Chain A
Amino acid sequence: MAVEAVSTTLGSAPPPRRQRLLEDERWLAFALLVPTVVLLGMFIAYPFIRGIMLSVTNSRVGVEGEFVGLANYYKVWNDSIFRTAVYNTFFYTAVTSVFKLALGLWLAMLLNRNFRGKAFTRAFILLPFIIPTVLSTFAWKWMFDPTFSVINWTLYQLGAITGRINWLGDPDLAMASIIVVNIWRGVPFFAISLLAGLQTISPELNEAAAIDGAKPWHRFWYITWPLLLPVTMVVLLFSVIQTFADFQIVYVMTGGGPANATHLFATYAYQIGVGTGLLSEGAAISLAMFPILFLVVIVQLLYIRRVEVR
């Protein structure tokens, strides 16, 4: 219905009044925003409020609970697995974001040149991003499998190891494995988005600077990077949010194990709320993630605004 509202406002032979209305920035903005607001209101705002209400009751699956105030939050706060999950989520997000940005930018710069097979390469590097995550994670899970690991085979043949590396069975290695998979999946997205950003930068700027004798590193730092910054920040921002709420990779690779060492917010909330059926506790865990993520994002948004003003 949202769609209809817009198309009637902009009917094929608009009478002058409507045209005047659309000339008014406020009315145009209103018309343009209606579909978004309606959809998001229906499918996010309402469930969000329901979710908050759920978190202050003691309801479990099939049982309407009673109001218990902040008891669930208190319970969650004293939960050692929850604390591990918080730490893991931060660590995971920070490490993967840094790598994805650095590698993605580097790859974008490489792809921004002219070389044979350019189109082909650009299309192919997107593959990790296209393959349904659950399925590609299964491929990785198998590559890390304790018994059949092809990575172990390769390292063994190269003489780098003599015994096997217990990729998913050791808490630290399991975390490292998950991080590798996330980076693998995320780099193409960064690379392609930044490549699109790089393309908007006129090559003449760089050429002029080169004629003036600027070194490649200087050209990058003083010309490319500042112009690329707005797109970079948006891409980074969204990646951080995605990673913070990441679910599939951990769910498939370790299920939060070994012994809860790799749980993230989302997987832990899922295990408690949906797996065990403790709906309100699960909601409390999910909600605990919200203010933290909110703070992280506000900091990033402020930075973006500063960058754009500059």
Chain B
Amino acid sequence: MARISRRKFMQVTGVSAAAATGGLAGILATGRAPAYAQATTVHWIRWNDFVPASDQLLRKELLPEAEKALGMKITFETVNGNDLQPRITSSIQSGAGPDLFMLFNNHPHLYKASAVDLSDVADAIGKAGGGYYPVSSGNCSADGKWISMPFCIVGAMNAYRKSWFAEAGFNAFPETWDQYREAGKKLKAKGRPLGQSLGHSFGDPPTFTYPLMWSYGASEVDKSGKDVVNSKEMIESVKFMTAFWKDAFDEGGLAWDDSNNNRAFLSGTVSSTLNGASIYIESLRKPDQYKTEKDTPLKDDIAHAPLPKGPVGQFGMHTFQSHLMPTYSKNQKAAKDFLKWLHTPANYDKWFASQKGFATGPTTDTEKNKVWDEDKIMEPYRVAGKLGQVPGYPAPTGPKAAEALSKYIITDIYAKAVQGTPAEDAVKWGEGELKKIYT
């Protein structure tokens, strides 16, 4: 009895071991076979768009069209925006992965050693679109070539509640930081604070902190690329922010990511927040769901305005998206063809229209697009591409500025101070961190 069952056990283990090895060989074999048998596949990775309709459009309409037109298969993958950098790092190191990588801001500079030169594609598209904005070339070109194909600019503007600002005595959005603070103070006293994330997230925190720094005349480096963050101006801006935060902001912001302020605004807990147009677009999409306290649609009470002026002027930074093609890609020709197809006005405009102004194009002609005439509320976003600066300003951006951005150093200087670290110490800490990069 015992012997039989033991023999059975042996058979079973033997069989499963065989199955395991056979399966592995099988997978290896099948893993290769279809790749040769089928047409070329281009694997494209993007973030989960904050305007979900655009992802739907790509999946259901545009990509099937592209597959038909170009005779290739396109695998479209979306991931959380904060996971894009980990993904590209591991893909480059393992020499396999998506053929087109969407990246934010100046991140392409971090990966330029592994980027295919896209100059031929980019130059043609730029010329056709009336020329690139300076931010496009700043974020995407290095050493005289295009390391990444500019895709769009997500304008960052303050979305604010018109009626609440009016009640506080501001019929227009405040012009200067000091006025904004005054307005915020009154609003917070009424339980309607301003909202701003100061966490580790790719979008809202840097688009707020970098312009604030610049508008005080401070910057991480000077024109020659020497790090100069520890300046009188920087300390002043940090001190201002610390007081501003206490007076006017929702203190939860230290823990927010890029989506918290959207939810807070839509649920009526904050009166103003720096964001892409996604808040407004969402309120348009579901007018019955998002209501003001007077039960009128929230969408009618939203307006947009750029960040206020500081002592040396008005600044902005807008989240930038581009597509990088890693050198490991085996489908470079096909991926380039796809990029060309994607940027053909007939196709790009469909995507652009689905964004409803959340994103504007990388070339100057997008300002003339008819999307902007449809809704006056979106007007401030029309010129976002013209106004923004690239991290690293006033020096040209590069891998070092990209590293500082990925490490959230500027944002953390403000976040530290807001949490009680003296302004001087917070700036000094930032200087130490930046010195490690700029040596």
Contact = CB atoms under 8 A, between A and B. Distances in A.
A in complex with B: yes
A257 B199 contact: yes
Q: Size band of the A side of the interface? A: 35 or more
A145 B255 CA distance: 8
B332 interface: no
A38 interface: no
A33 interface: no
A41 interface: no
Given A7-B10, A258-B415, A261-B419, 13 more contacts: A12-B10, A61-B110, A147-B252, A148-B267, A168-B255, A171-B419, A174-B255, A256-B200, A275-B85, A275-B86, A276-B110, A277-B110, A277-B111
A10 interface: yes
B113 interface: yes
B348 interface: no
A121 B263 CA distance: 37
Contact of B86 (A4, A12, A60, A270): A270
B53 to A, nearest CB: 24
Contacts of B168: none
A-B complex: 10 closest residue pairs judged by Cβ atoms: A146-B252, A168-B255, A62-B114, A259-B415, A169-B254, A3-B17, A258-B254, A255-B200, A169-B255, A62-B113
Contacts of A62: 92-93, 111, 113-114
B407 A271 contact: yes
B412 A260 contact: yes
A193 interface: no
A274 B82 contact: no
A147 B415 contact: no
B47 interface: no
Contacts of B86: 270, 274-275
A1 B24 CA distance: 11
17 contacts: A3-B17, A12-B7, A62-B93, A62-B114, A81-B433, A147-B260, A169-B254, A169-B255, A170-B419, A171-B419, A255-B82, A255-B200, A257-B255, A274-B90, A275-B89, A277-B89, A277-B111
A119 B17 CA distance: 35
Contacts of B432: 80
Given A62-B113, A259-B416, A277 B85 contact: yes
Contacts of A274: 85-86, 89-90
B56 interface: no
A169 B85 contact: no
Interface string A169-196: 1110010000000000000000000000
Nearest to A272: B407
B45 to A, nearest CB: 16
B436 interface: yes
A110 B18 CA distance: 45
Contacts of B253: 146, 169
| Most central of A166, A274, A275 by chain B CB within 10 Å | A275
B292 interface: no
B190 to A, nearest CB: 15
B264 A257 contact: no
Nearest to A263: B200
A279 interface: yes
A289 interface: no
Contacts of B21: 1, 3-4
Contacts of B7: 12
A75 B432 CA distance: 11
Contacts of B269: 147
B267 A169 contact: no
A35 to B, nearest CB: 10
B14 interface: yes
Contacts of A147: 250, 252, 260, 263-264, 267, 269
Contacts of B260: 145-147
Contacts of A174: 255
Contacts of A168: 252, 254-255
Contacts of A79: 436
B79 interface: no
Interface string A199-211: 0000000000000
A167 interface: yes
B165 to A, nearest CB: 20
Interface in A23-70: 60-63
Interface in A258-310: 258-261, 270-279
B397 to A, nearest CB: 15
Nearest to B11: A12
B419 A166 contact: no
A11 interface: yes
A257 to B, nearest CB: 5
A258 B432 CA distance: 19
Contacts of A10: 10
A259 B419 contact: yes
Given A166-B252, A258-B255, A7 B17 contact: yes
B124 interface: no
Contacts of A257: 198-200, 254-255, 415
Contacts of A12: 7, 10-11
B403 interface: yes
Nearest to A144: B255
B255 A146 contact: yes
Interface string B404-439: 001100001001100100000000010011001000
Nearest to B110: A277
Contacts of B407: 271-272, 276
A168 B257 CA distance: 11
A177 B257 CA distance: 17
Interface string B102-113: 000000001101
A167 B350 CA distance: 43
Nearest to A61: B89
Nearest to A81: B433
B211 to A, nearest CB: 19
B383 interface: no
Interface in B1-39: 7, 10-11, 13-14, 16-18, 20-21
A35 B18 CA distance: 15
A261 B416 CA distance: 9
B164 interface: no
A254 interface: yes
A279 B413 CA distance: 24
Nearest to B205: A257
A169 B252 contact: yes
B50 interface: no
Nearest to A171: B419
